[in-house]
Amino acid sequence: MQRRHEPNNIPIEVLRSFATVTETGSFTTAAAALSLTQSAISAQIKRLEFLSGGALFVKGTATLTEKGRFVVEYAHRILALNDQIISAGGKNGNQLRIGIPALYAGTLLRQIFNACRYGVEDIAYYSDTSPNLTKRFSSGHLDIVVAFALSVPEKATRWWEETLVWVCAADFKPTPGSPLPFLSFPGCVQDDLARRACQQAGTKYDIVFTATDHAAHFEAIRSGMGCRAFVERAVPPDVTIMRNSFLPELPRCYSAIFAKDGGDDGRVGDVVRSLGELLAPHVH
């Protein structure tokens, strides 16, 4: 077999071995979990180090190097996509695929799961930014999506307005005359709207923290690093809503449910109704 492209491809089993070592904290435990020998695990890690161009673990340990921390993040993403492809074509191919915004996944996941009234054998949940969810819905990779939108969403099954608020730590005190310390979530609808509000109001801001994880954002807020805009219903009780007049007024934000034609599958209509009852104050 010709393998002239091999240096440009990372085998999925190599990534899985690497991820398993990082999760278990041990080459020996990872080998047992994957039914491989420890020498086989070590050989796969060496191969990945060759392909990625550097050491992934501190020598003699399972502690990640800086490069290892970089690679493991992408390894998990690739493995997740691989497993989704396998799942979609396998025994779980009849599952409804529901996308929910990362913000709701962090605060309302339990209520959403309970409201849908179907078990995990019937529904697979996916969490991402709203733009990514709507793209995946449009391409047919998701069956039902709850997403935030900058304007009244077209072709939505249901939609409603959300209230956006500035949030910060209880003891946060911005310095008068200084730029607003801004916590940024690239690709997030609320982030885009907050930036627009600052620009339109002439409010200067400095980005002091960037992450694509709402749990990290809430920790940054609690630490007093800065502020950002959130949907009011998703604000945790230990985070303060800023109602100071010096902050720019935030525009309207919209939420929507997009759903495929369910045909004979009554689950689609059931889930849409359940999500609407849970999330929409005034459904359109």
Most confident of the ranges 2-6, 78-82, 271-275: 271-275
Residue 7 has pLDDT above 70, yes or no: no
Residue for token pair 């440009």: 8
Do 22 and 72 touch, CB atoms closer than 8 A? yes
Residue 25: how many other CB atoms lie within 10 Å: 11
**221-245 burial string, b = 16+ CB within 10 Å, else e?**
bbeebbbbbbbeebbeeebbeeeee
**What average pLDDT does range 182-190 have in this prediction?**
89
Of 232, 52, 257, give the one whose Cα is nearest residue 143. 257
Give the pLDDT confidence of 106-117 residue by residue, as tens digits: 777 888 888 887
User: Quick check: 99 and 128 in contact, CB under 8 A?
Assistant: yes
Cα distances (angstroms) measured from residue 78 to each of 82, 134, 191, 201, 244: 6, 20, 26, 41, 43
pLDDT value of position 90: 47
Please report, in angstroms and rounded to a whole number, the separation of the first and last CA atoms in the chain.
59
Give Cα separations from 85 to 78, 79, 145, 237 (angstroms): 11, 10, 19, 38
CA atoms within 13 Å, Cβ hemisphere of 72: 19
How many CB atoms neighbour CB 33 within 10 A? 16
* Paired residues of 54 in beta bridges: none
Q: Mean pLDDT across the stretch 21-45?
A: 87
Structure tokens at 278: 């849970």
Q: State mean pLDDT over 168-190.
A: 87
- Give me the pLDDT at residue 183, please: 94
Instruction: Evaluate if residue 212 carries a pLDDT over 90.
Output: no
Q: With beta carbons less than 8 A apart as the criterion, state whether 166 and 239 touch.
A: no
CA-atom Rg of the chain in angstroms: 22
Phi, psi of 253 (to 5 degrees): -125, 150
Quick check: 153 pLDDT over 90? no
- Cα–Cα distance measured from residue 195 to residue 202, given in angstroms and rounded to the nearest whole number: 10
Query: Is 69 strand, coil or helix?
Result: helix
pLDDT in tens, 94-133: 788 899 988 887 777 888 888 887 776 788 888 888 888 8
Q: Which residue in 253, 281, 104 sits closest to 189, CA to CA?
A: 253
Neighbours of 184 (CB within 10 A): 19
Each as own residue / partner, the long-range contacts of residues 75-78 (CB below 8 Å, 24 or more positions apart, any chain) are: 75/15, 75/18, 75/19, 76/19, 78/10, 78/12, 78/15
